[in-house]
Amino acid sequence: MIVYLHGFRSSPQSSKARLIGERMRTIGHADQYHCPQLSERPSTAMACLLELTRQVSPAHLTLIGSSLGGFYAIWLAERLGCRAVLLNPALRAHEKLRRHVGTQTAYHDEASSFEFRAAYLEELRALYVETISRPERYFLVAATGDEVLDWREMVAALPGARHKVIEGSDHGMSDFAGMLDEVMAFAAVTAPASR
């Protein structure tokens, strides 16, 4: 199973979420792909994800998290013992999102707004993982052209993990399609054998 965790203000409509979903459909695993709309409240988002993954063996689960979703993926992977692919993760989301407290609009539905409350920063702080326990379970994909987060901080914070540093690109990884094969290989997802 693959669970995609979208970033702050994002949704299952993000280009990366749709690319992964399409690949899973193409290889016959559409039922093993999940990308829930995460609540703006961290504790609610984590409760949703824990329920979604409750009966899945860690050996058969890969989380793919982008930005804030990468922050969440680290906490979940440590708790569940599964693999995680981190795409430009917001490693210190409880600090980075401080300036976003207040009313926010969603990227894929500008008519939709939500309130990101100061109390949520404390919920994020409670989810912060300072040191990962099993680096081999992590694959970091970091872009040097990320206009929001510093790729060097990502690499330094995840010693021993598999690293792929992309020259250029951007925070949203608009060239993610070219990385999809490598991400899927790390997730150990293959097409079912033909009969």
Q: How far is CA 153 from CA 7, 58, 80, in A?
A: 18, 27, 25
pLDDT tens figures, 8-53: 988 899 999 999 999 999 999 999 999 999 999 999 999 999 999 9
Q: Look up residue 32 and give its DSSP letter.
A: G
Which pLDDT score is estimated for 194? 47
Nearest partner of 168 among 84, 69, 88, judged by Cα: 88
Q: Is the pTM of this model over 0.95?
A: no
Domain spans in the chain, listed from the N-terminal domain onward: 2-186
For the domain made up of 2-186, the CATH class stated in words is alpha beta
Nearest partner of 32 among 56, 11, 1, judged by Cα: 1
Q: Look up residue 194 and give its DSSP letter.
A: P
CB 165 within 8 A of CB 151: yes
Q: How confident is the model at residue 135 (pLDDT cuts 50, 70, 90)?
A: very high
pLDDT tens figures, 112-134: 788 889 999 999 999 999 999 99
CA gyration radius, the chain: 16
